[in-house]
């Protein structure tokens, strides 16, 4: 069974640009959530989608957005990139009824220069 | 007060010993509790999750949950060098995981 797939694995962008990251969940999983990991802040929740609906959103500026497609694949977008957006972006998939496991992808390492 | 607090590391244990990791959380609405292991430069790997009070065992790992005390722990028995990693505690509520800062464990041969 394939795991959570995130593309691309690495990205280098310039300040002010925008970026789109992709996540394909485990087959049959309908929930996709996104997290940002930095050395200073640790793992922080960005947002969660289930059946194309955002059910929860973390405390990030509006430059961070996401969406989910009917096949459960998800994308997140960051506009007007700042140096502080450099981080590992992780996607997790789950069935997400109550009390189900959440599995992470390999992540996308974004560097903003 | 942080949402999720884990015992500060690093925690150094000899091979074959028990590593004990602790986690307290502030959100009483938390329903499930996850333990992830993260090797340097890698993504978090799910070790266990627990949602009922008491103990849950899986191989060398035992998770313990006490919702009244808002406390969850992870025991690693017969620690191996391959267990050297950062362990992350993550309560879940409202479709999100809230992560602690992690405890780094080093198993010395």
Residues B67-101: pLDDT tens digits? 999 999 999 999 999 999 999 999 998 889 999 99
Q: How far is A98 from chain B (nearest CA, A)?
A: 8
Q: Is A35 on the interface with B (CB under 8 A)?
A: yes
* Pair B95, A48: CB distance under 8 Å: yes
Partners of A88 on chain B (C-beta within 8 Å) are 43
Pick from B81, B64, B61, B100: which is nearest to B12 by CA? B81
Tell the burial category of A15 from Cβ atoms under 10 Å away from its Cβ (0-12, 13-18, 19+).
Answer: exposed
Say if the Cβ atoms of B95 and A90 lie within 8 Å: no
Pick from B39, B44, B22, B40: which is nearest to B97 by CA? B44
How do the pLDDT tens digits run along chain A, 113 residues long?
679 999 999 999 999 999 999 999 999 999 999 999 999 899 999 999 999 999 999 999 999 999 999 999 999 999 999 999 999 999 999 986 656 788 999 999 999 99
* Helix residue ranges, H only, B17-107: none
Quick one: pLDDT at residue B9? 80
Query: Token pair of A105, please?
Result: 């992808």
Q: Which residue has the tokens 């962008």?
A: A13
Say if the Cβ atoms of A104 and B34 lie within 8 Å: no
């Amino acid at each position: 069974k394939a795991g959570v797939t995130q593309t691309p694995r690495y990205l280098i962008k310039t300040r002010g640009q925008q970026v789109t990251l992709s996540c394909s969940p485990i087959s049959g999983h309908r929930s996709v959530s996104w997290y940002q990991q930095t050395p200073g802040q640790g793992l922080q929740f960005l947002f969660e989608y289930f059946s194309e609906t955002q059910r929860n959103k973390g405390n990030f500026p509006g430059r961070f957005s996401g969406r989910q497609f009917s096949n459960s694949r998800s994308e997140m977008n960051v506009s007007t990139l700042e140096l502080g957006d450099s981080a590992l972006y992780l996607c997790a998939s789950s069935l997400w009824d109550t009390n189900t496991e959440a599995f992470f992808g390999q992540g996308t390492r974004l560097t903003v220069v | 007060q942080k949402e999720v607090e884990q015992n500060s590391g690093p925690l150094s244990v000899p091979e074959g010993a028990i590593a004990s990791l602790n986690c307290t959380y502030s959100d009483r609405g938390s329903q499930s509790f996850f333990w992830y292991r993260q090797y340097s430069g890698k993504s978090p790997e799910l070790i266990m999750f627990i949602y009922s009070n008491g103990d849950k065992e899986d191989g060398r790992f035992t998770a313990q949950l006490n919702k009244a005390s808002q406390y969850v722990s992870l025991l690693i028995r017969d620690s191996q060098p391959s267990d050297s990693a950062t362990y992350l505690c993550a309560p879940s509520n409202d479709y999100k995981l809230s992560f602690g800062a992690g405890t780094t464990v080093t198993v010395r041969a």
